Structure 1
Amino acid sequence: MDSDDLGLFGPGSVTWKVHAEPVLLVAGLRSLYLQALHPRAMAGVAQNSDYRADAWGRLVRTATYVATTVYGTTAEAEAAGSRLRRLHERLHAIDPITGERFRIDEPDLLRWVHVAEVESFLDTARRAGVPLTPAEVDGYYTEQRRAAALVGLDPATVPGTAEEVAGYYRAVRPELRMTREAAETALFLTAPPVPWKLSLPIRLGLTLGPPRWAYLGVAGTALALLPAWARRMYGGLGLPTTALSADATVRGLRLALAALPQRWREGPLQQAARERAARSVGTSPAP
């Protein structure tokens, strides 16, 4: 393996610019709320996942996968994609509406999950104040076709511009529903179980306090960042004032996270990628 391989994207990519933002933790949650509105996709998760029993473990695995595709070497990204494809190809689910048994790696489902995820990353970054030109927005979507290929999609069938993403959402919205599984998942995402290391103090009658309230604030912001049509499906109001409030909150969160030391804002994969990039131009990485 080339120790200086810069992976699927590299330091000059829009992808690295967007994913350098720690505020994307909100985007990840936004994408899960959005993905849950697709009954078939939600059935695939609910019938094949232990996410209720291992919510935080699943979150860590998902975040690690995304970080690997963004910051890992080409070989690491391709290996992660290969593992995911092998997992998906073994799994089936029952359509809650038609009763049909289906594979969860159907292209339509993979495409929904991909678009909901990358659109959530990009929309959250922009609304948090990350400066992106229209050309960079389209560039991000085009670059992310490489990530779509890792899960088994034909890149030519994946929206590659902002206009194409908007058109995709218009086309898919008639398939979306607020099902019982979607509502239960949204409730679970909003108030997940506490990690086991914090469970003992709670069992002893102590309150979680600030961490719980902080998480509820993040979850509320993620919901408010959804498109107006998705907020209405969750029973919320699709008012411009809701979006404006979410924008102000996520901008404040981005500023707060930016004040943290860089070593706290970057994961090990991102740090390793930055070091490889520095070696490729013969400079030292920033401390």
Structure 2
Amino acid sequence: MTWIGHATCFLQHSDFTVLTDPIFGRRASPYPNTPIGFAREVPPACSIEDLGQSIDVCMISHDHYDHLDLESVRKLKSVVQLWFVPLGIAEWLQQHAQIPEERIIEVKWWDSVRLEKDSLAQTWKVAQRYSLEDAPYHHPSLDRLASPHEAWLTCLPAQHWSSRSFFDRNYRLWSSMACHFPSEQLFYFGGDTARPDSFPLFEQIRDYLARPIDLAALPIGAYAPAELCRDAHMHPHEAVQVHEALRAQRSVGIHWGSFPLAEEPLHEPADLLHECGVAQFDTVEHGAAVIIPVRGNVSDIAISA
């Protein structure tokens, strides 16, 4: 996984590639060419063109401007094969970016899809869908994938909210997400979330996934002032608690160091996370890659620039 910046990550597993919450623009704003919104202080580590001619899946956690950037989506339209999004965002992608309906996979919490690669066309398609209503006592993604050219994607809860204007608050769903690969490796993408005070959200997610999380990308920024931010974002100390609740073998802090979204200094989230002293949960520099060996041995985890 390469951290491009903010919540934008580029995941590579064998010949399968995933991009998360793409924002490559200079401003998180409904009007990016005006002073409205949040200007980017650290540029993305690479451009869309640097990622190659084809990205298999783009996962979008929710519709906020720092996670769903119209300019970036339009540039990615000819590059991304499939879009994996929570309820309500499919309509937005069709209306604003003219992305065909057949290329969008829209899901709700606890839904999963199994993707399968067509070896002739070299494209990915949905081979199976699953929701809790189908068979609540046996999640098919727990079964070992039969082919190296398969993957499960799962939409999971988050504590957050959605809106792109004064008139559509919580009109669209927000989520976290997971990818499960034939190697039995599991990647968890936190997107943007708070940690509930009195509800075991992340323990539920851990139990539902029912296998070790090899790598988690967890948001650690935009927490100050606490009285305004605590219901939507996590302080780094809370993110450590989420890392422990998920029992992730390795976690990386995201959602910091790119946009000044809140009152804390830009690099404070990373400093506070380092002070926690959790060896398996750290930050990386923009453009650095976290490499997880197939067997998921924590001692073998490497970071490369």
What TM-score do the two structures reach when normalised by structure 2? Answer: 0.27
Higher relative contact order (CA 8 A, sep 6+): 1
- Which is richer in strand? 2
Q: Which has the larger radius of gyration?
A: 1
Name the structure where helix makes up a greater proportion of residues: 1
